[in-house]
Amino acid sequence: MYEPIFALFCERVKESIQAGTFAKLTLAKTMGDNEIKNIYFRLVLNEDNSFSISLTTRYKTEEIESIHTLDEALLVLGTYIKNPFLTALLFTTDNDVTFKVNKKNAGSIIEQPPTFKNASPVMLEMIEKGIV
C-alpha cells in the first residue's frame, strides 16, 4: 500500500517548509481523462505573520482556490492520490522529491537534483520575518 510512503512524503513537505527550502508542490499525472487537471500547493502569508496553504485545483474549465492549514492541505492532497493523481512533486532548493503510486498500489519516493535555485517568494518572506 502507498499510504506509509505518502506519509513520508508529507513529512518531507513539512521539513522543507521548516527548513526554508520549499519552492513548489503540485499533483500531476491523472489516471484517464478527468475534469481535474492538476492541483497546486502554495504558501500564503497571513496578516498575523502566520502562514496558510493555498490549494488551487485546476479543472478543464475553471480553477478553484481554497485556503487550509498545512495539516489540512496535506490531508486534502491525500484524498486525491489514486483519485485521480498518481504523482506528487515537491520542489525544494535541496532536491526535487517525487512521490509515485504504481498499478500495484505501491508508493515510491524518488529524489533528483533541484529544479529551483530559490525557495518560493513567500517562503523567502517567511524566512526574512522569522516565521520559520
pLDDT band for position 109 (cuts 50, 70, 90): very high
pLDDT band for position 33 (cuts 50, 70, 90): confident
Locate 51 and state its grid cell: 502562514
For the segment 44-79, what is each residue's pLDDT rounded down to a tens digit?
A: 999 999 999 999 999 999 999 999 999 999 999 999
Sequence-distant (6+) residues with CB within 8 A of 79 are none
Q: How far apart (Å, rounded) are the C-alpha atoms in residues 2 and 7? A: 9
